[in-house]
């Protein structure tokens, strides 16, 4: 074993639910990246319900998986005792992956001081909402807060959190790479087909900006640039009105034959690989995992000019950045790719090098190093 995997401590990952989402897929891919000799030290606890496909993928990784069926939002103290029993006694590093699981893990940390607790902040605008009490308890009980980008780390530190480190998300490149890789992207290889634009995100338009992308597609159609848009993502309780609103927007612009909604996709890799352009029109984005997935797939990317995506995209070289919430600018950037397929191919070649530096193994080893340091 390399130094990155030697003497790994006992690890327990806790997540509230395993639905179809970026953080959930990242956890599954993280577990799949572990080497066989590391499996015995790892347990994953899913407290609430799970998407059947996501849970099956997690169980295939070889780590121990405990899937509970706790009612969403339940505070029954019996679940605390169950969590303590499943975590077990003795030294352990617990890694909580969302707000709900963090609170249960903090209770375990309080009752068992030898436990070490890691919490990953997967998005922008999460910690800035912490009140003074929440922030104080977090700093007291969370041994390390992991930010997925410099932008998220800056927000954590500005909000008063301590012990913040950056571990960038990684991608299982093997799931997205097309072999053999072509020097030309699909826009250049297949100039006669109607280009397909894909976006992958939960349906929360106030954050993910699907409405802006629909408006941009309407602008392109008005210019005589035909495209097909595939919106990959499932409804969310964070904004349950989004699906109806987006469909109404599609109807208003007469795009019923141009826009397809695809829900319940546990693995978006085939959708991304089949696209001509990947759009990330978010109004807030801490990182943008789908950007790396598209880069690895050889698909040119247009994303919002936000701190997270800007850490991955050098506009004009490895993709384009558009002003958040600006449908005209988003349409302009997409049009640049549509009108110059050779340029899109050059961007794709440069973008693959960016994806190479974010392989899931790099993220895995960074986390294993962190766990070992905390367990000393």
CA 331/CA 335 separation, integer angstroms? 6
Query: What is the mean predicted confidence (pLDDT) over 259-269?
Result: 93
Position 281 confidence tier, pLDDT thresholds 50, 70, 90: very high
**What CATH number labels 11-170+359-375?**
3.40.50.2000
What are the residue ranges spanned by the domains of the chain? 11-170+359-375, 175-356
Closest C-alpha among 268, 284, 276 to residue 301: 276
Residue 117 reports pLDDT greater than 70 = yes
Position 2 confidence tier, pLDDT thresholds 50, 70, 90: very low
Position 238 confidence tier, pLDDT thresholds 50, 70, 90: confident
pLDDT score at 196: 98
CA 208/CA 251 separation, integer angstroms? 20
The predicted-structure confidence for 75-106, as pLDDT tens digits, reads as follows 999 999 999 999 998 899 999 999 999 999 99
In sequence order, the 6+-apart residues with CB closer than 8 A to the CB of 200 are 232, 233, 265, 268, 271, 272, 278, 290, 293
pLDDT score at 179: 64
| Whole-number average pLDDT of the chain | 94
pLDDT score at 298: 94
Cα angle vertex 200, ends 95, 62, to 5°?
A: 40
175-356: CATH homologous superfamily?
Glycogen Phosphorylase B; (3.40.50.2000)
Q: Compare 174 and 167 and report the one with higher pLDDT.
A: 167
């Amino acid at each position: 074993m390399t130094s990155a995997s030697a003497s790994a401590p006992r690890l327990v990952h806790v997540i509230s639910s395993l639905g179809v989402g970026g953080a959930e897929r990242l956890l599954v891919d993280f577990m799949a990246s572990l080497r066989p000799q590391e499996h015995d030290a790892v347990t994953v606890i899913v407290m609430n319900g799970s998407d059947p496909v996501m849970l099956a993928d997690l169980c295939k990784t070889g780590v121990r998986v405990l899937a509970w069926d706790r009612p969403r939002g339940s505070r029954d103290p019996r679940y605390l005792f169950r969590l303590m029993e499943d975590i077990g006694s003795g030294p352990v590093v617990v890694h909580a992956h969302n707000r709900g699981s963090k609170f249960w893990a903090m209770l375990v940390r309080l009752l068992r001081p030898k436990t070490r607790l890691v919490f990953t902040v997967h998005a922008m605008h999460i910690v800035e909402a912490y009140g003074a009490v929440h922030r104080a308890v977090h700093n007291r009980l969370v041994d390390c807060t992991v930010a997925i980008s410099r932008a998220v780390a800056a927000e954590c530190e500005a909000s008063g959190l301590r012990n913040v480190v950056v571990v960038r998300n990684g991608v299982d490149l093997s799931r997205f790479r097309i072999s053999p890789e072509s020097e030309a992207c699909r826009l250049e290889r297949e100039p006669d087909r109607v280009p397909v634009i894909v976006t992958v995100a939960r349906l929360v338009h106030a954050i993910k900006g699907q409405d802006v992308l629909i408006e941009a597609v309407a602008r392109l159609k008005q210019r005589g640039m035909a495209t097909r848009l595939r919106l990959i993502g499932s409804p969310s309780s964070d904004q349950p009105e989004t699906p109806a609103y987006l469909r109404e927007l599609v109807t208003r612009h007469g795009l019923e034959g141009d826009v397809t909604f695809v829900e319940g996709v546990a693995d978006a890799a085939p959708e991304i690989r089949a696209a001509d352009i990947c759009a990330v029109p978010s109004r807030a984005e801490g990182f943008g995992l789908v950007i790396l997935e598209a880069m690895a797939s050889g698909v040119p990317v247009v994303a919002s000019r936000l701190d997270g995506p800007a850490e991955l995209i050098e506009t004009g070289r490895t993709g384009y950045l558009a002003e958040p919430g600006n449908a005209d600018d988003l349409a302009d950037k997409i049009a640049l790719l549509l009108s110059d397929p050779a340029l899109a191919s050059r961007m794709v070649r440069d973008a693959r090098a960016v994806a190479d530096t974010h392989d899931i193994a790099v993220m895995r080893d960074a986390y294993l190093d962190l766990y070992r340091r905390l367990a000393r």
